[in-house]
Amino acid sequence: MGFTKTAEELAGYFELRAREFPGAEMLGVVFETRPEIVERLLPPPLEPTGANNGLMFIAQYPETNLGPGYREAALFLGCRYRGETGNYCLSMPIESEDSRLHNGRDIFGFPKKMAKIHLQVEGDRISGWVERHGIRFVEIEASLMAELPELPAPGPNFLFKAMPRIDLSPGFDGPVLLCRQHTDIAMKRLRVGSAEVTLRESGYDPWAEVEIANVIVAYHLVSDNTMQPGSVLGEVDAEAFLPFYFKMTDFFSKGDAR
């Protein structure tokens, strides 16, 4: 358990291929936003689908095969790459700072940041919120009205991995990689209904930039999730990606938290 890992420790780490989340509980909202917002926020070579849809969720993972459970939230935009429809992650707040933060950010490229996250289930009323730097920038209040027997098959996540230059000049040390990752969801229960979503302005977490034109559906999902290993699709234009990278940091926020 020292700084340098033994062959046995490394073997145990790399044998753990899939990340498992049994009994995951999620409050989600599928929404429609404006086309100009989607076009502005999708990094090339990702393209809009034409539907202008997005997804946000607040989740509780009671346990994982990486260790104890934790809470997480996320904001996605629908996108397309070479004819395949999927999702691009704009933000992924998380309560745990141990292996889950490393797993999501360093391995997969999810833009994870530490946050306070709340999820409460009271019968057919589900509520949740996310807070960072004293700003509760998203609140969801859902009313569930029906139960569905099946879950529509989710598309893959398209992610980017990059390392900023050590000499602090604009750009990256090495290529910017476009990656693809998919999570298998074995549904246990799915309830759907309506929701009121409140997005508050935050320089740290600008979820309010993604204007919600219409809430399509709210849902409460209980499932066993298996996060599969991803794959590298190829290199992308590093200069074109540079403005999109900094959602990973609070550096540009007013009164920034470096």
Residue 11 CB partners (closer than 8 Å, separation 6+)? none
Range with the lowest mean pLDDT among 8-12, 155-159, 173-177?
8-12
Q: Given pLDDT bands bounded at 50, 70 and 90, which one contains residue 1? A: confident
pLDDT given for residue 155 in this prediction: 92
Residue 241 CB partners (closer than 8 Å, separation 6+)? 43, 44, 160, 162, 176
Is residue 72 one of the residues assigned to a domain?
yes
User: How confident is the model over 77-111, as pLDDT tens digits?
Assistant: 999 999 999 999 999 999 976 666 777 788 899 99
* Mean pLDDT, rounded, of the chain: 93
| 18, 32, 65, 81, 156 from 184: Cα distances, Å | 10, 24, 15, 20, 10
Is residue 43 one of the residues assigned to a domain?
yes
Is 50 exceeded by the pLDDT of residue 258? no
Could you give phi then psi for residue 113, rounded to 5 degrees?
-140, 145
Which residue has 């027997």 as its token pair? Answer: 149
Q: Given pLDDT bands bounded at 50, 70 and 90, which one contains residue 183? A: very high
pLDDT given for residue 100 in this prediction: 66
User: How confident is the model over 195-214, as pLDDT tens digits?
Assistant: 999 999 999 999 999 999 99
pLDDT given for residue 61 in this prediction: 96
CATH number, residue 218: 2.40.400.10
On whether the pTM is more than 0.85, the answer is yes
Is residue 105 one of the residues assigned to a domain?
yes
Q: Mean of the pLDDT values across residues 30-37?
A: 98
Assess contact for 125 and 94: CB atoms under 8 A.
no
Q: Mean of the pLDDT values across residues 29-35?
A: 98
Q: Mean of the pLDDT values across residues 232-246?
A: 97
pLDDT given for residue 246 in this prediction: 93
Is residue 202 one of the residues assigned to a domain?
yes
208: left (phi over 0), alpha (psi -120 to 50) or beta: alpha
pLDDT given for residue 113 in this prediction: 93
Domain that holds residue 46: 18-155+181-227
Is 70 exceeded by the pLDDT of residue 160? yes
Assess contact for 171 and 30: CB atoms under 8 A.
no
pLDDT given for residue 254 in this prediction: 59
pLDDT given for residue 104 in this prediction: 79
Share of the chain above pLDDT 90, in %: 84
How many structural domains compose the chain? 1
Assess contact for 199 and 207: CB atoms under 8 A.
yes
CA-based torsion, 201, 204, 205, 206: positive or negative: positive
pLDDT given for residue 151 in this prediction: 85
Q: Mean of the pLDDT values across residues 220-242?
A: 97
Is residue 48 one of the residues assigned to a domain?
yes
Q: Given pLDDT bands bounded at 50, 70 and 90, which one contains residue 257? A: very low
Is residue 193 one of the residues assigned to a domain?
yes
Neighbours of 135 (CB within 10 A): 14
Share of the chain above pLDDT 70, in %: 97
Query: Pairing state of beta strands 84-94 and 157-161?
Result: parallel
Is residue 244 one of the residues assigned to a domain?
no
Q: CA-to-CA distance for 65 and 90, rounded, in angstroms?
A: 26
Is residue 239 one of the residues assigned to a domain?
no
User: How confident is the model over 39-86, as pLDDT tens digits?
Assistant: 999 999 999 999 999 999 999 999 998 888 999 999 999 999 999 999
